[in-house]
Amino acid sequence: MSEPMIRLEHVSKTFPGSDDPAVGDLSLEVPEGEIVVLVGPSGCGKTTTLKMINRIIEPTSGSIQVAGIDAVDTEPHILRRQIGYVIQQTGLFPHRTIGQNIATVPRLLGWEKPRIEERVAELIELVGLEIEMAERYPVELSGGQQQRVGVARALAADPPVLLMDEPFGAVDPIVRTRLQEELLGLQERVKKTIVFVTHDIDEAIRLGDRVAILNVGGVLEQFGPPEEILRDPANDFVAEFLGTDRGLKRLSLISIRAVSLDTGPVVAPGDPIAAAHHVAERYGVDWIAVGSRNYLHGWLPLDQLAGMDSVPSDGLMYFKTSLSADASLKEALDAVVSSRTRVAAVFDGDRYLGMLTADRISEEIVQ
């Protein structure tokens, strides 16, 4: 691994008047350009860790390096220029407009007015807001929009590092999912090094290139890519924190594209009925799909073929549960268990790629 963007070595923090450390002895490396998620129960030291990275809180012992330089050797105001910070309640200044909020750091840095205006417009677009909103005040925006402004403000001076502390905690689940998708899309474009804090394991799995599972006292129980943690939890604490649906969570990380698909019981229109029965028997199903190479017309229960000479091309049922190859195996499983035929037909646009069964899907997680 190349030099990490952020390196914590044996970092601890004991608050005055407290016997137990909020963070005991934490070592962690955050590679450049990745999203590392710190996840763990409330009070385990996530916020404290984040605030030590930008020196809002000074560590009791240990060292923290950002871009190879010791954080203690960097003036806090210079350090914070390299580090954007997004918090849960957005921390927007209520009496400043959205535009003024986003311009906070560039103004502190003494940028010329036209440059600031240009950057504000660029950021408003980048986070998916309308330029007209620049003149509004935070209360005039929805919770989700305010969060987007918080992200825009943190990105204003183009810092290499972003720290995000439960940024989507206060919005409803639908908006949260949108914001998560937007963050991943944004990260594709801006490639920051992001440390993201959450207590929501699903959010961690969804967003993290790597996930750090923390226990009370800032104890690092496991650190790795989400797929690896789900496949092989280091101990009971991690397993319990991941939840009883660990297998399903893993499925949500695997794309259908990564799996080889079976053609399924497909016959062509005009094929003899005997061929249809033969194919259905081979697959152990009581139905057939009708199609040609790369195309599926639909499906029929075998008993509807009674009295026909050959496989028909019309009067077929549609596959209600057709899936895009970009969907996850979790979505595929949901389609399978909801379908009459117990399979999901997978398409790339109009092109038929093959079928997935529950057996085939479970093979992917029981390896």
Ligand X SMILES: Nc1ncnc2c1ncn2[C@@H]1O[C@H](COP(=O)(O)OP(=O)(O)O)[C@@H](O)[C@H]1O
**Which residues sit at the interface with ligand X, rule CB under 6 A?**
15, 18, 22, 42-48
In the complex, the smallest distance separating the C-beta of residue 37 from ligand X, rounded to whole angstroms, is: 13
**What's the rounded Cα separation, in Å, for the pair 56 and 37?**
19
Task: Calculate the CA 253 to chain-centre distance.
Answer: 9
Contact between 299 and 290 under an 8 Å Cβ cutoff? The reply is: yes
Regarding 47 and contact with Mg ion (CB under 5 A), the answer is yes
Q: Binds 18, which of Mg ion, ligand X, none (CB < 5 to 8 A, cut-off by type)?
A: ligand X
In the complex, the smallest distance separating the C-beta of residue 11 from Mg ion, rounded to whole angstroms, is: 16
**What's the rounded Cα separation, in Å, for the pair 194 and 37?**
8
Q: For Mg ion, which is the closer residue by CB, 217 or 225? A: 217
Q: Binds 44, which of ligand X, Mg ion, none (CB < 5 to 8 A, cut-off by type)?
A: ligand X
Q: For Mg ion, which is the closer residue by CB, 47 or 193? A: 47
Could you tell me where the DSSP H helices lie in the chain? 46-53, 76-81, 98-102, 104-108, 113-126, 143-155, 173-190, 201-207, 226-231, 236-242, 246-253, 273-283, 329-337, 358-365
3-class SS at 187?
helix
From first CA to last CA, the distance across the chain in angstroms is 28
In the complex, the smallest distance separating the C-beta of residue 38 from ligand X, rounded to whole angstroms, is: 8
334 contacts: CB under 8 Å, gap ≥ 6: none
Q: Binds 153, which of ligand X, Mg ion, none (CB < 5 to 8 A, cut-off by type)?
A: none
Q: Binds 22, which of ligand X, Mg ion, none (CB < 5 to 8 A, cut-off by type)?
A: ligand X
Q: For ligand X, which is the closer residue by CB, 42 or 260? A: 42
In the complex, the smallest distance separating the C-beta of residue 293 from ligand X, rounded to whole angstroms, is: 55
Q: For ligand X, which is the closer residue by CB, 2 or 18? A: 18
Stretch that binds Mg ion, among 44-52, 173-181, 228-236, 290-298 (CB under 5 A): 44-52
**Phi-psi category of residue 128: left, alpha or beta, with phi > 0 → left and psi -120 to 50 → alpha:** left
In the complex, the smallest distance separating the C-beta of residue 248 from ligand X, rounded to whole angstroms, is: 26
**What's the rounded Cα separation, in Å, for the pair 27 and 9?**
4
Site residues for Mg ion per CB under 5 A: 47
